[in-house]
Structure 1
Amino acid sequence: MRTILKWALRLAALLVVVAVLAGIWKREELTRLMAVNSLFAAEKIVSNFSHMDKAFLTTELNLPDARPSPLPKGPEATLPAQTQDWITARDVTALVVIKNGQIVHESYYKGTSPEDRRISWSVAKSYLSALMGVILADGSIASIDDPVTKYAPSLKGTAYEGASIRNVLNMSSGVTFDEDYLDKSSDINRMGRVLALGGTMDGFAESLSDTFAAPGQTWQYVSIDTHVLSMVIRGATGRSISDLMSEKIMGPMGLEVAPYYLTDGVGVAFVLGGLNMITRDYARMGQMFLQRGRLNGQQIVPADWVDASTAATAPTAQDAIGYGFQWWVPKGADEGEFMARGVYGQYIYINRPLGVVIATNAADRKFRETGVSDANVAMFRAIANAL
């Protein structure tokens, strides 16, 4: 009996040592997983959204040393009387307004600063669309009507078999993907855990096997579609998204502060929502698209791609918000009115006829409530019309 007890105690001690060593070995992964689980907690969300590099793997974009000066400042604008109530209700952390190429309003809230590199969430999708236009123009991709498997052959036999690049740009891939942020078992939250634990986004995309419609038949917002676009671009060029984005988009735009991407465990950029930059530089992207892809005296994104990507060409429901190539077109939009949009209140709103760009960041935990998105667009239109 004593011998058995002695061996049991030794085994228990060994298991404790193994557990401690495993905890040390996996400490970073466990820390990231804990961070994901509390990412949107009321008491942490504002700080988290300005410091995503504390919770996830990242890669900083390399920008050229010589960069243009910041966007010029114009006379301070008088915003509509209801603006402050909207800022409070929507937990806005940053608001930058440009009129005719000049910043006419800039303000920050909830203890955040102008130099905070804020998470884009799905605003990042519009940046990848811009890069797709550049890569298409240089001939690395022959046509957006090519199947995605031509450039990302690892997707053969998956749910993406048969989908074209155009289908995926339009979010009409037909791939089944649960985008419910409030359901911890949803695909979008499973994907978040893969990211936090150092898994691979490519592997996640390749694991999807179910479809709900034929490609191009109907529109449904599927965030992993954007990652598939990055697989296409990487496959076509043999280069990373971070390097391509630095060289083709971010560097020529002349950003003030180098942005960074969240990455998966093998350094692949989290293109569908992991871009982090200062709000003035988000506004700079809007100004470039207002000017049909031109900024700093050069054509950065082809003008015809700007026009095509911001037109409501996706097969969305009648009378619903429109969608282009990873850009949104508000209901009742005038020509030249479109936006990039991310969860929790991230926006780049462009109104070309009025010469206005509005960039906002927020930590709005009520962003999914009925009417919130329409109210945000109404606020942007009110600001634009007041200038």
Structure 2
Amino acid sequence: MKKMKIPLIVVSLIIVAGIFLIPKLKQYIAFNEVLDMENIEYSFINMDEYFPSKTVVKSDQPFVFPQIENIDLPKHFTHDDIQYSTDKYLDSSTTQGLLVIQNDTIQYENYWRGQKEDVRHISWSMSKSYISALLGIAMEEGFIQSIDQTVEEYLPELKGSGYEGVKIKDVLEMSTGIGFDETYSDPNSDINRYWKGFVYGASQDEFASTLVNEKTPGTFNHYVSINTHVLGMIIVKATGKSLTEYLEEKIWKPIGAEFDAYWIADGEGMEMALGGLNACLRDYAKLGRLYLNKGNWKGKQIVPQAWVEASTSSTEEHLQAHSKNSSSPGMGYGYQWWIPDGEEGEIMAIGVFNQHIYINPTSNTVIVKNSANKNYYAKGNPYASSLTHLELYREITQFK
């Protein structure tokens, strides 16, 4: 039987079609799968299967927390006069990893639903706190002169956008006045319009240039994720290094990261500054330890102490936990860090779907939680609330 010969031109057309169609197919799959609630337990620990990524190389001299046998977590905790079972709460918020460190020792470490100690999980908006640290380092190194400078002094391409005339300080404090709808459950919101563009490889820089201003900068605390992308743009422009390179050099290796991390990136190679860092639970905890020690790591000042202190305090009225000039009641805000209402100096890095780094300097505690909360969008769901999570962490901190 004769073998059928396929003309060379047909073979060439198939190859060319594959070159153009396979990336589009991957983008289509990413758009439909990554945030599909039935798939997020898998996608949140496999983001590099869906998107281009850039590796943040681990330290040659890893720092390893000493560890004891897991303590028993408190059986219950209370928020707003409602008592919750800890086990049920962890399960109902679809916890994938939980780490409790007190006095520099791991007191509790556990994993569920595919995550393990060496499996990287997307941080979502916990990434913002890393960007804040990098900006503080860039200032210390003289790449950025002052946070009272305006955005366009570093990014002339944003002249004419809503960021023109806005101080870097206002960007850090989520007080730019930019009009932006961050409703994740609304498919037509600005954040989902951004997400669709990111998935299909569009430039995040160009997206930032389309936003407009609705309020006087520095007067109202309104959480706008693209603000963090603008900070990332400033760091890249000022230092001449990618966020991946700068993070690896200035933080990741110096704090003894045990595992490689990676940052997902858009079609232009720019990292998703506002939420695209993927790392292991213990290495997320090291940012907590770094801030617990005012930016100092084993005697070396990694992040300037003054920057850490400024980043983790709410000094202006619109940044206070109960301000009427804030769209996030119940939590104060600093430089890309959340500041719970209380007297113990607590701070939190918070990501959507219940990613948390909780730091309590009074009890010398760091708690990290990764989650894939399938019911995150359910209105009034206490198992998705950061404030309810906060009370769980406080109970764990105090529990003996």
When the two structures are superposed, what TM-score results if normalisation uses the length of structure 2? Answer: 0.88
Matched, 1:199 2:194: no
Q: Distance in 1 between matches of 2:28 and 2:227?
A: 24
Match of 1:9 in 2: none
Q: Kindly indicate whether the alpha-carbon contact (under 8 Å) linking 1:95 and 1:107 is maintained by their aligned counterparts in 2.
A: yes
Match of 1:312 in 2: 314
| SS of corresponding position for 1:26 | helix
Q: Kindly indicate whether the alpha-carbon contact (under 8 Å) linking 2:53 and 2:265 is maintained by their aligned counterparts in 1.
A: yes
Match of 2:37 in 1: 42
Q: Distance in 1 between matches of 2:374 and 2:169?
A: 32
Match of 1:91 in 2: 94
Q: Distance in 1 between matches of 2:143 and 2:348?
A: 27
Match of 1:8 in 2: none
Q: Distance in 1 between matches of 2:39 and 2:23?
A: 19
Which of 266, 272, 275 is residue 273 of structure 1 equivalent to?
Answer: 275
5 Å matches for 1:148-187? 148-187=151-190
| SS of corresponding position for 2:54 | strand
Which of 21, 42, 45 is residue 26 of structure 1 equivalent to?
Answer: 21
> 1:101-140: CA deviations, max 9, x gaps?
1111000012322211000000000000011111111111
Q: Distance in 2 between matches of 1:67 and 1:214?
A: 47
Aligned residue type for 2:142: G
Q: Distance in 2 between matches of 1:214 and 1:20?
A: 53
| SS of corresponding position for 1:329 | strand
Choose 30-39 or 242-251, whichever is displaced more.
30-39
Displacement of 1:334: 2.0
> 1:232-287: CA deviations, max 9, x gaps?
11121122111111111111111000100000112111110000000111111111
Displacement of 1:33: 2.9
Displacement of 1:75: 4.8
Q: Distance in 1 between matches of 2:387 and 2:209?
A: 35
Match of 1:144 in 2: 147
Match of 2:335 in 1: 325
Match of 1:127 in 2: 130
| SS of corresponding position for 2:393 | helix
5 Å matches for 1:1-387? 25-64=20-59, 66-82=60-76, 83-208=86-211, 210-313=212-315, 315-316=318-319, 317-318=323-324, 320-330=330-340, 332-368=341-377, 369-370=379-380, 371=382, 372-387=385-400
Choose 122-131 or 362-371, whichever is displaced more.
362-371
Q: Distance in 2 between matches of 1:57 and 1:180?
A: 25
Q: Distance in 1 between matches of 2:249 and 2:392?
A: 35
Q: Distance in 2 between matches of 1:215 and 1:23?
A: 48
Aligned residue type for 1:184: P
> 1:360-383: CA deviations, max 9, x gaps?
000113335434222111101000
Alpha carbons of structure 1 residues 33 and 180: separation in structure 2 relative to 1, 3 Å: farther
Q: Distance in 2 between matches of 1:381 and 1:103?
A: 16
Q: Distance in 2 between matches of 1:380 and 1:120?
A: 18
Q: Kindly indicate whether the alpha-carbon contact (under 8 Å) linking 2:33 and 2:43 is maintained by their aligned counterparts in 1.
A: no
Displacement of 1:93: 0.5
Q: Kindly indicate whether the alpha-carbon contact (under 8 Å) linking 2:203 and 2:267 is maintained by their aligned counterparts in 1.
A: yes
Aligned pairs, how many? 369
Q: Distance in 1 between matches of 2:180 and 2:18?
A: 32
Q: Kindly indicate whether the alpha-carbon contact (under 8 Å) linking 2:162 and 2:178 is maintained by their aligned counterparts in 1.
A: yes
| SS of corresponding position for 2:228 | helix
Q: Kindly indicate whether the alpha-carbon contact (under 8 Å) linking 1:351 and 1:357 is maintained by their aligned counterparts in 2.
A: yes
Q: Kindly indicate whether the alpha-carbon contact (under 8 Å) linking 1:40 and 1:365 is maintained by their aligned counterparts in 2.
A: no
| SS of corresponding position for 1:219 | coil
Which blocks of at least 5 consecutive residues in structure 1 are unaligned? 1-16
Q: Kindly indicate whether the alpha-carbon contact (under 8 Å) linking 1:356 and 1:384 is maintained by their aligned counterparts in 2.
A: yes
Displacement of 1:333: 2.1
| SS of corresponding position for 1:50 | coil
Displacement of 1:76: 3.0
Over aligned residue pairs, what C-alpha RMSD do you find?
Answer: 2.0
Which blocks of at least 5 consecutive residues in structure 2 are unaligned? 1-11, 77-85
Displacement of 1:71: 1.5
Q: Kindly indicate whether the alpha-carbon contact (under 8 Å) linking 1:33 and 1:193 is maintained by their aligned counterparts in 2.
A: no
Aligned residue type for 1:47: Y
| SS of corresponding position for 2:44 | helix
Aligned residue type for 1:349: Y
Displacement of 1:339: 0.4
Q: Distance in 1 between matches of 2:257 and 2:120?
A: 12
Q: Kindly indicate whether the alpha-carbon contact (under 8 Å) linking 1:344 and 1:364 is maintained by their aligned counterparts in 2.
A: yes
Q: Distance in 2 between matches of 1:63 and 1:111?
A: 22
Task: State the percentage of identical aligned residues.
Answer: 40
| SS of corresponding position for 1:252 | coil
Q: Kindly indicate whether the alpha-carbon contact (under 8 Å) linking 1:283 and 1:359 is maintained by their aligned counterparts in 2.
A: yes
